[in-house]
């Protein structure tokens, strides 16, 4: 099993900041929530295949 080398205070600070930024970018607040085809089909009372066709045509749903 490999053991990490000790890091100095400056390197530790940099690694901590990088880790925090990665965690922030992966947070759900930055993710765009897209509705599923089934959710849209239920909303508009149509078939899920119709929603798929709309998306393939580039319609904003």
Per-residue pLDDT of 4-56, as tens digits, reads: 677 788 888 999 999 999 888 887 777 777 889 999 999 999 999 999 999 99
Q: What was the pLDDT predicted at 24?
A: 86
The CA distances from residue 52 to 26, 42, 45, in Å, are 28, 13, 14
Tell me the pTM.
Answer: 0.47
What phi, psi does 29 have (nearest 5°)? Answer: -65, -20
Of 1 and 28, more confident: 28
3-state secondary structure of 61: coil
Domain map of the chain by residue range? 34-61
Q: How many CB atoms lie within 10 A of CB 51?
A: 22
Q: What was the pLDDT predicted at 4?
A: 62
């Amino acid at each position: 099993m490999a053991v990490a080398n000790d890091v100095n205070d400056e390197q530790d600070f940099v690694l901590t900041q990088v880790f925090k930024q990665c965690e922030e970018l992966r947070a759900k607040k930055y993710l765009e929530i897209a509705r599923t085809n089934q959710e849209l089909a239920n909303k508009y009372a149509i078939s899920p295949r119709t929603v798929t066709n709309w998306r393939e045509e580039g319609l904003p749903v």
